[in-house]
Amino acid sequence: MASYSSQAASSGTKLRARSRNSAFITRGPSKSELGQYLQGLKDLQQQKPPNSDEENGSFSVRFFEQDEHKRSELPDDDAFGDSVGKLDGSELKEALRDIQANLGSKEEQDSFHAVLREVGGDMSHVRSAKDLEKMMERMDIYTKTIDAEIESAGSNLPQDVLDELRRDLPDLPLTDDGFKPRTTIPQIPEKPWTLNQRKKINRLNLVLSRAFRESHRQPRLTKNTVSTVYKTYHAARITLARAWNNVPIDVWDFLWAVLSSVESINIHRLAHIAMLSRDMSEARVTLNPSQQLLTIEAVFVDGWELKAIENWKRCVSTLGDEKAETFQDYWELGVRIFCRVGDVNQAERAVDKLFGKGMDPRILMPLIRTFSEQATPESQERAWDAYRRMRDLLGKDIKLSDYDQVISYFLTTNQTENALYAFVDMMSDGEIDLKKQKYMPSVVANKFFLGKWLKRLIGAGDLDGAFNVVEFMRNKGVDASPIHLNGLIGAWQRSGGASYLERSDKLAWDMIESRIQFVRSRNPDHVASQASPQSADSPWPRATLETFSLMAENYRIRDLHARMEALWGAFRDAEISPDAFMMNQLLESYLQAGQPKEALSLYQSLVTERGISPDPYTYSALWKTLGINRLHIISPESISSEIDNTRKLFFETVKFKSAFEPEGMDGQLARKILHTFRRLKDMTGFVVALTSLKEIFGFTPPETLAMELVLGTTKLLWDNPSQRKRLILAKRTMDQELLAWVQGDVDKLDGLERRDALYEYVQNKYWPGVGDDEMREVMRQMGVDKLLGPKE
């Protein structure tokens, strides 16, 4: 039996909607729409041009016909009638093709194509309204035949099978069920409005039509669609207000569905609903219970708190009835709005209503927050009681997120003690109740337990709460570990807020001062004279190398060189062995302050005298100290000294070649080294550096760097014709020379062989015209004479 008819297609669509979200990709023309289209064509054919002699013989009318390519004049009225009556079947054909393309499987598409070919024939032959009418008659006969077969087959089925099919296919008329019409697009009729008013009405209808189709194609609307619907409706409100009764119910329903979309795509959801509900009230549209409930919430959030509460109370016998579907939502809304206005007694009565029906105990969360915010000893005690009540009711169903929420409420309202008790509850699964203990047990009063709490708070972004916990536990005699305090300092710095940066500085310098006092206390001669003035407070945990590194990096990023110097002075007083990271921050700070000599002096002091092992970032900073890399212009008389300094720095880089193992040198640093020698026109030094980078550091120039070196630039520009021509010519020349180097064998220019060819090409381009003795002297100056010299 063929599977396509006006009814079977509808049920098929329902089936596909269950298996995929976007079942309605493109809506095909309905039978009513095709009928209107046909009637319009008939009307056009039956129209006769007015008798010019009877009406006005003083003018003539010219007729034109235009397609997508050109416009041509028609000879007379008859030609115009033929043109209007002629029907191009291409649009109908394309619409049917869209329907076929959006069917689920290839089998369905083939069946649909076969039905069209049998019933409709070739769409390209549909040239007039008469042709279209004949095609529709054949379709009607065919669909009636299929519908009759379906009904006949359904009438012979057993009743239980029939009932099951009705449940699975509610739109399939197996017996005497009526045909379910296609869902129509919500539209506002144009007729009641003036021409000027229709502009906004038409615009709103167009937007509603697009949104309606999108809602059938996708699981949910997009943020842009919701915004467009709101803006268009808002623009048409004044016009619509002149005659609210002309807005159909389905339009109101669809507007509500769009403007009540979730806040992730509709951030002004409640404001939109407040406006829409007022309009619907003026239009005397009855809201369903869920709409009434959302309206109360929207009015409350919109600032009309007393009016919202009054409406909430008025609906207690309907929306709040125990048998109403809105019972839970109604009383939960009551808890939230009464907590917002501070009426906790009314909120508690609403909670009791919910608990009488065994509802979710988490509704106590708003009460816990409100009690906490009232900031009185009595209210804070009630907040704790509400928390314990929720915890007891939830039992094993309580989640970590529930604990985190409660602890956040307590910390935000400076109830650090209650927050501690709740955290201990969470960590001990309710087995330890600190409220009932006179002293803090050892499992809680230790830096490891405190560290777990701080780590959780910092990870959740509650930095204020974390610091409150630190101070609270200090007063209890439990100091946090420097590791966790460093984590708090780093989190404050990453936040970027001025107050947080100030607090990070203060805490870090308190820790640094504690470290310095500890160092001085080891020297008996300094204990009495150098005592800290803040003896009343217990000392903070001592700063570590990480503390100094965090502050050094932060001062460098903020370009606070004076503070960096003070930090470096404190670092020496703290007698902590520096590492490469700390040294690198200091080097970068000196460079930012325009003090390259001080940067080099610091490097010599730390590496040569104190034995710090540099890392690759150290040399990335050192190569910036050279004048050729800092200044735009180098005087001719200073070129010689710059060449010497560059060779000495390369010597230093080779000296600590182990810092680059095993990965080898970074491409950016190698690029800077090669360009430094190139800009100084030190060809001998360039060739030695290029060879050393390959043999010692495992770096060979890639094709882009090779092009830069050949063209003598650090930027390959492609902005104007002359630059493009120069770049293309250089690339062509390089490719030709590389091809000659391999004697025309293109296969030898792949992979590693191409890399070696590029290396040889650049080396030949820069090879200096010097003797072997001078080359060996330069190799000695750059520290590679023994590494690159002849093997014994």
Q: What confidence score (pLDDT) does residue 749 get?
A: 78
Q: What confidence score (pLDDT) does residue 463 get?
A: 93
| Of 154 and 204, more confident | 204
- Assess contact for 541 and 488: CB atoms under 8 A: no
**SS3 track for 68-83:** CCCEEEECCHHHHHHH
Q: Which of 657, 680, 681 is nearest to 669 (CA)?
A: 657
**Planar angle of CA 352, 357, 362, nearest 5 degrees:** 65
Of the segments 105-114, 284-293, 515-524, which one has the largest average pLDDT value? Answer: 284-293
How many residues appear in the chain? 792
Q: How is residue 634 written in tokens?
A: 């180098």
| C-alpha span between 569 and 563 (Å, rounded) | 10
Burial class of residue 251, CB neighbours in 10 A (0-12, 13-18, 19+): buried
Comparing 121-125, 224-228, 296-300, the range with the smallest average pLDDT is: 121-125
Q: What confidence score (pLDDT) does residue 535 get?
A: 38
Burial class of residue 792, CB neighbours in 10 A (0-12, 13-18, 19+): exposed
**SS3 track for 453-464:** HHHHHHHCCCHH
Q: What confidence score (pLDDT) does residue 578 get?
A: 85
Task: Examine the pLDDT at 694 and tell me if it is beyond 50.
Answer: yes
Q: What confidence score (pLDDT) does residue 16 get?
A: 37
Give the model's confidence band at 25: pLDDT under 50 very low, under 70 low, under 90 confident, else very high. Answer: very low
Average pLDDT over residues 466-486: 92
Task: Examine the pLDDT at 743 and tell me if it is beyond 60.
Answer: yes
Give the model's confidence band at 341: pLDDT under 50 very low, under 70 low, under 90 confident, else very high. Answer: very high
Dihedral angle sign, alpha carbons of residues 366, 367, 372, 374: positive
Comparing 125-129, 210-214, 722-726, the range with the smallest average pLDDT is: 125-129
Task: Examine the pLDDT at 92 and tell me if it is beyond 70.
Answer: no
CATH number corresponding to 195-428: 1.25.40
Q: How is residue 67 written in tokens?
A: 């397609």
Q: What confidence score (pLDDT) does residue 215 get?
A: 87
Backbone angles phi, psi at 660, to 5 degrees: -100, 0
Q: Token pair 């550091």 is at which residue?
A: 697
Q: How is residue 670 written in tokens?
A: 């190698």
Q: What confidence score (pLDDT) does residue 123 get?
A: 55
Average pLDDT over residues 236-262: 92
Q: What confidence score (pLDDT) does residue 361 get?
A: 93
Q: What confidence score (pLDDT) does residue 180 get?
A: 39
Average pLDDT over residues 437-447: 84
**SS3 track for 548-567:** HHHHHHHHHHCCCHHHHHHH
| Of 348 and 36, more confident | 348
| C-alpha span between 588 and 771 (Å, rounded) | 40
| C-alpha span between 200 and 239 (Å, rounded) | 8
Give the model's confidence band at 164: pLDDT under 50 very low, under 70 low, under 90 confident, else very high. Answer: low
Q: What confidence score (pLDDT) does residue 8 get?
A: 38
Contacts of 18 (CB under 8 A, 6+ apart): none
Q: Which of 414, 475, 484, 399 is nearest to 449 (CA)?
A: 484
* Burial track 150-171 (b if 16+ CB lie within 10 A, e otherwise): bbeebeeeeeeeeeeebeebeb
Helix (H) and strand (E) counts in the chain: 39, 2
H helices of 218-288, where?
223-241, 249-259, 269-282
Average pLDDT over residues 226-246: 92
**pTM (two decimals):** 0.62
Q: What confidence score (pLDDT) does residue 62 get?
A: 66
Q: Which of 751, 745, 744, 659 is nearest to 696 (CA)?
A: 659
Reported as a single tens digit per residue, the pLDDT across 765-780 is: 899 888 888 999 999 9
- Assess contact for 133 and 140: CB atoms under 8 A: no
Q: What confidence score (pLDDT) does residue 72 get?
A: 72
Give the model's confidence band at 438: pLDDT under 50 very low, under 70 low, under 90 confident, else very high. Answer: confident
* Mean pLDDT, all residues of the chain: 81
Domain residue spans of the chain: 8-46+75-168, 195-428, 616-792
Name the region of 619 (left: φ>0; alpha: ψ -120 to 50; beta: rest).
alpha
DSSP string covering 751-764, please?
Answer: THHHHHHHHHHHHH
Q: What confidence score (pLDDT) does residue 327 get?
A: 93
Which helix H or strand E contains 65, and what residues bound it?
Answer: strand 63-66
Q: Which of 444, 441, 438 is nearest to 423 (CA)?
A: 444
Q: What confidence score (pLDDT) does residue 227 get?
A: 92
Q: What confidence score (pLDDT) does residue 661 get?
A: 83
Task: Examine the pLDDT at 13 and tell me if it is beyond 50.
Answer: no
Q: What confidence score (pLDDT) does residue 725 get?
A: 85
Give the model's confidence band at 335: pLDDT under 50 very low, under 70 low, under 90 confident, else very high. Answer: very high
Average pLDDT over residues 7-24: 37
Q: What confidence score (pLDDT) does residue 365 get?
A: 95
Q: What confidence score (pLDDT) does residue 156 get?
A: 57
Comparing 33-42, 46-55, 320-329, the range with the smallest average pLDDT is: 46-55
Q: What confidence score (pLDDT) does residue 541 get?
A: 94
Task: Examine the pLDDT at 147 and tell me if it is beyond 90.
Answer: no
**Residues of the chain above pLDDT 70, percent:** 77
Long-range contacts of 217-225 (CB under 8 A, 24+ apart): 217/22, 217/24, 217/25, 218/21, 218/22, 219/21, 219/22, 220/261, 220/262, 220/265, 221/258, 221/261, 221/265, 222/265, 223/265, 223/266, 225/258
Average pLDDT over residues 477-492: 94
* Burial track 259-271 (b if 16+ CB lie within 10 A, e otherwise): bbbeeeebeebbe
Task: Examine the pLDDT at 532 and tell me if it is beyond 50.
Answer: no
Give the model's confidence band at 735: pLDDT under 50 very low, under 70 low, under 90 confident, else very high. Answer: confident
Reported as a single tens digit per residue, the pLDDT across 311-327 is: 999 999 999 998 899 99
Q: How is residue 346 written in tokens?
A: 């009314």
| C-alpha span between 444 and 359 (Å, rounded) | 34
Contacts of 131 (CB under 8 A, 6+ apart): 87, 89, 125
Q: How do 71-74 and 63-66 pair as beta strands?
A: antiparallel
**Residues of the chain above pLDDT 90, percent:** 49
